[in-house]
């Protein structure tokens, strides 16, 4: 749906009830996406044994997903800034669900890798589309809160992914063997992939039924001249605010890297170091994730809003820095715990604080970016931050294979990755803080002028 700038200015925002209804659907889509994303972490043990692959290779399934998730995000964002966003997202959900099912229909590691690439391409539709939609469903002052609530979707989805994945994996191990024509007997880890792909088809249909909002060409940190090509607006935004955007992207990339390494290697930590069953560890970890994980982004959003109302234009950077600082210390302590009980207890504060920066990463960009390029700015950041998923689990896996071999090595690998990248992330955001405050103040002035 397209509109002229004048009509966009006069068009009222959708009702808050309907806007939050769409947010709830986006959260549901994130549930499905993150459930599908977590399956390799849940079934990594039996999958490795069946396929005969190393720690580095099995964790590369996360990495290859992330690489194509990031690459596909740029052209998809270009489409999201021009074409119907609901159709783009519906197609994406359908495709990644189908590819999840394909991952369970083979024992060929190369084919599984290709299927995970497909999952990454499909999931790449979610972030740029949701950032663009939220910018048109909500007034500027409510965008950060809406995106922070949205961030609870992937976090809860990750937790539910571990819970449901653990139950499905446990059920698949207990049920009689399933034989598919032309494929033979499917292993429990294969059935887990297959069953977990089914719900996405229903969610895809639901997105076909929502209303596409009018595009609002409000001013942002960079003014869009009528005779200026849109590609120039994106590059101009990055040239003008590179002192903010480069350390912003690098800082949150480092936090994403340690976070994905932490999540992927959690189940192997409990199976190898503490001797727990993978399904039991996955279910327990999932419940902690569901209840503790979403608190961080929501708390951070309200604290940042409170500081911003007091005139702190750097609130969207300072608050996630503080959350990440606490998270680094707690995450590094978990592998040192002498029992699984103490490790699980520490997971609650760890998941609160390690997840706290990520909603503000997107919200901070949406607040300062022009409406016409919000989806592409989100996609550029998604491209950068996805290297955290691309590199985090394999880096920790390489430490397992090379530097700290043996069943106990995973704990030292996690501590090392957390310490190094936690420090680099904090230093990067320190450099972003002051220039971000200037960009946010400029965006606020421009937005006030556009309403006059």
* Alpha-helical regions (H) of 43-84: 44-51, 55-80
State the greatest distance between any 2 C-alpha atoms of the chain, in Å, as a whole number.
Answer: 69
Whether the CB-CB separation of 168 and 196 falls below 8 Å is answered with yes
Whether the CB-CB separation of 62 and 288 falls below 8 Å is answered with no
Q: Which residue has the tokens 């220039």?
A: 435
Cβ burial, residue 212 (10 Å; 0-12/13-18/19+)? middle
Dist CA 58 CA 81 (whole Å): 36
User: What percent of the chain is predicted at pLDDT more than 70?
Assistant: 90
Question: Could you read off the pLDDT of 22-67 as tens digits, one per residue?
Answer: 888 888 888 888 888 878 888 888 888 888 888 888 888 877 888 8
* pLDDT at 452 (0 to 100): 52
Q: Is the pLDDT of residue 428 over 90?
A: yes
Question: Could you read off the pLDDT of 366-408 as tens digits, one per residue?
Answer: 778 877 777 778 778 877 887 888 888 889 989 988 889 888 8
DSSP 11: S
Residue 85 lies in domain: 5-451
The band of 13, judged by pLDDT with boundaries at 50, 70 and 90, is confident
DSSP 378-420: HHHHHHHHHHHHHHHHHHHHHIIIIIS-STTHHHHHHHHHHHH
The band of 5, judged by pLDDT with boundaries at 50, 70 and 90, is very low
Q: How many domains does the chain have?
A: 1
Q: Write the CATH number for 128.
A: 1.20.1250.20
Which residue in 150, 194, 152 sits closest to 171, CA to CA?
A: 194
Which residue in 334, 348, 316, 299 sits closest to 418, CA to CA?
A: 334
pLDDT averaged over the chain?
Answer: 82
- Higher-pLDDT residue of 362, 86: 86
User: What sign for the dihedral angle of Cα 288, 65, 23, 28?
Assistant: negative
Whether the CB-CB separation of 343 and 337 falls below 8 Å is answered with yes
Q: Is the pLDDT of residue 226 over 50?
A: no
Whether the CB-CB separation of 196 and 40 falls below 8 Å is answered with no
Q: Is the pLDDT of residue 446 over 70?
A: no
* pLDDT at 152 (0 to 100): 66
Query: Rounded mean pLDDT of 282-289?
Result: 89
User: What percent of the chain is predicted at pLDDT more than 90?
Assistant: 21
């Amino acid at each position: 749906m397209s509109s002229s700038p004048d009509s966009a200015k006069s068009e009222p925002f959708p009702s808050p009830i309907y806007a939050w209804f769409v947010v709830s659907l986006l959260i549901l889509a994130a549930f499905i996406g993150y459930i599908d994303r977590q399956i390799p972490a849940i079934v990594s043990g039996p999958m490795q044994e069946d396929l005969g692959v190393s720690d580095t290779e099995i964790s590369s399934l996360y990495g290859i997903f992330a690489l194509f998730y990031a690459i596909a995000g740029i052209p998809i964002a270009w489409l999201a800034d021009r074409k119907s966003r609901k159709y783009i997202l519906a197609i994406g959900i359908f495709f990644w669900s189908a590819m999840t099912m394909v991952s369970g229909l083979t024992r060929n590691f190369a084919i599984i890798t290709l299927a995970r690439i497909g999952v990454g391409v499909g999931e790449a539709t979610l972030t740029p589309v949701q950032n663009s939609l939220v910018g048109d469903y909500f007034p500027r002052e409510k965008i950060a809160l809406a995106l922070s609530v949205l961030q609870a979707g992937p976090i809860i989805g990750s937790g539910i992914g571990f819970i449901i994945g653990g139950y499905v994996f446990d059920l698949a191990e207990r049920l009689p063997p399933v034989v598919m024509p032309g494929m033979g007997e499917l292993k429990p880890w294969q059935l887990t992939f297959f069953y977990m792909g089914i719900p996405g088809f229903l969610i895809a249909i639901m997105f076909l039924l929502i209303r596409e909002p009018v595009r609002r060409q409000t001013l942002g940190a960079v003014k869009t001249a009528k005779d200026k090509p849109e590609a120039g607006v994106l590059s101009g935004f990055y040239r003008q605010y590179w002192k903010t955007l480069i350390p912003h992207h690098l800082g949150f990339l480092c936090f994403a890297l340690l976070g994905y390494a932490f999540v992927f290697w959690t189940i192997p930590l409990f199976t190898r170091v503490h001797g727990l069953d993978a399904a039991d560890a996955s279910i327990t970890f999932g419940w902690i994730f569901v209840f503790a994980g979403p608190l961080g982004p929501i708390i951070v959003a309200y604290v940042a809003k409170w500081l911003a109302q007091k005139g702190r234009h750097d609130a969207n950077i300072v608050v996630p820095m503080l959350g990440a600082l606490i998270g680094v210390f707690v995450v590094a302590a978990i592998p040192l715990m002498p029992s699984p009980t103490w490790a699980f207890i520490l997971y609650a504060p760890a998941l609160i604080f390690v997840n706290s920066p990520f909603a503000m990463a997107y919200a901070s960009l949406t607040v300062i970016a022009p409406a016409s390029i919000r989806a592409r700015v989100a996609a550029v950041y998604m491209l950068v931050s996805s290297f955290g998923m691309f590199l985090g689990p394999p880096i920790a896996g390489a430490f397992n294979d090379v530097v700290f071999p043996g069943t106990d090595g995973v704990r030292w690998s996690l501590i090392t990755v957390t310490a190094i990248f936690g420090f680099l992330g904090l230093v990067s955001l320190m450099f972003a803080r002051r220039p971000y405050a200037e960009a946010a103040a400029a965006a606020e002035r421009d937005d006030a002028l556009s309403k006059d």
